[in-house]
Amino acid sequence: MQVMTQMDSQMSQDTNIKISAKNVQVHYSDNHAIKDVNVEIEDKAVTAFIGPSGCGKSTFLRCINRMNDTIDICRVTGEIKIDDEDIYDNRVDPVQLRAKVGMVFQKPNPFPKSIYDNVAYGPRIHGLSNNKAELDEVVERALRRGAIWDEVKDRLDAPGTGLSGGQQQRLCIARAVATEPQVLLMDEPCSALDPIATAQVEELIDELRKSYCVVIVTHSMQQAARVSQKTAFFHLGNLVEYGETDKIFTNPEDPRTESYISGRIG
């Protein structure tokens, strides 16, 4: 917590833009998946990417922490800046970037280890704690922030894979925040969860907004409306419309957005 507040005060006051993308193009071999996307994402807010399947929203999300690097045929051009630093600069080590930009995946994917080890893994490999007591503290803080501490505090040694789906996803969120990232990317985090677990995760996302820049990809327009402040609508690799969530859902400018939101395409 202390680290975060310190960082907050150090942040420049004049701009609230955390991530800015300019002319981003993504190709999978010959397939042009993302076409010239420009977007500026605010800090301390939830930005939702919506759009029909295959529109490129997940691909674009994975560009932000360079997870696309692991796909051989994927080629990214353009410029994505986080805090005014180009993350595709040759000097950037994607490993360091991913510590700063955490990610939660569509399917809960806890490591087949204990709950404690799941959360402690990131801090351990990044050397965020000097001893066991500090690590315990880091783990507890992360689990609290993942809103799962009360449910698992008595069985930290139990395997993470033994939790229910919703608990697993919150554990994954706790794991992602344990490395003290500044940006949290979520790729359809609720699509494998039941409505109750979804509600819990959404509540958690709203809570996380206070400390992080959260970007969420979702299929559910209701979810986007519920949790996000800004919404970006992707269609066929284009960023069609980007703006305040309220405006996108009540008064969209582009006819394609309107068709999608009213259920005519997608």
Partner 1 sequence: MSAAKNSLLSVDAHTKKRNAAEKRFKAYGLSAIIIAMLALAVLLTSVLSTGLNAFRQTYITIEVPLPETKLDKSGVRDIDVMKKVTTIGYNPLLRDGLLVAIEAAGITTELSNKDIGKLISKEAPATVRNHVLANPDVIGGSMTFNLLASGRIDGYFKGRVTMESAALDGNTSPEALQLAQDLKDAGLIQTRFNWHFIFAPDASDQRPEAAGLGVAILGSLYMMTVVLVLALPLGVAASIYLEEFSPKNRWTDLIEVNISNLAAVPSIVYGILGLAIFINFMEFNQSSPLVGGLVLTLMTLPTIIISTRASLKSVPPSIRDAALGVGASKMQSVFHHVLPLAAPGILTGTIIGLAQALGETAPLLLIGMVAFVREYPAAYSADAGLFGEASTALPVQVFNWTQRADPGFVERASGAIITLLVFLLIMNTIAIILRRKFERRW
Residue number, 73 or 265, with CB nearest to partner 1: 73
Q: Which of 16, 20, 25, 161 binds partner 1 (CB under 8 A)?
A: 161
Shortest separation between residue 122's beta carbon and partner 1, angstroms: 4
- Kindly tell me the sign of the dihedral angle through the C-alpha atoms of 189, 193, 194, 196: negative
Strands (E), 14-161: 17-28, 31-42, 46-50, 74-82, 85-86, 101-104
What number of chain residues touch partner 1 (CB under 8 A)?
30
Shortest separation between residue 105's beta carbon and partner 1, angstroms: 6
Q: How far is C-alpha 166 from the chain's CA centre? A: 17
Quick one: which segment of 1-9, 64-72, 150-158, 255-263 binds partner 1 (CB under 8 A)? 64-72
Question: Where is 235: in which H helix or E strand?
Answer: strand 230-235
Q: Which of 112, 210, 251, 265 binds partner 1 (CB under 8 A)?
A: 112
CB of 248 closer than 8 Å to CB of 257: yes
DSSP state of 251: S
Shortest separation between residue 254's beta carbon and partner 1, angstroms: 33
DSSP state of 109: -
Question: Where is 125: in which H helix or E strand?
Answer: helix 115-126
Quick one: which segment of 38-46, 122-130, 219-227, 251-259 binds partner 1 (CB under 8 A)? 122-130
Site for partner 1 in 175-204 (CB under 8 A): 175-176, 178-179
Shortest separation between residue 98's beta carbon and partner 1, angstroms: 4
CA-nearest of 53, 68, 51, 63 to 23 is 63
x-marked contacts with partner 1 along 79-98 as a string, rule CB under 8 A = ----------------xxxx
Task: Tell me the C-alpha distance between 190 and 198, whole Å.
Answer: 5
Shortest separation between residue 249's beta carbon and partner 1, angstroms: 30
Residues forming contacts to partner 1 in the complex (CB under 8 A) are 65, 67, 70, 72, 95-99, 102-105, 107, 109-113, 121-122, 125-126, 159, 161, 172, 175-176, 178-179
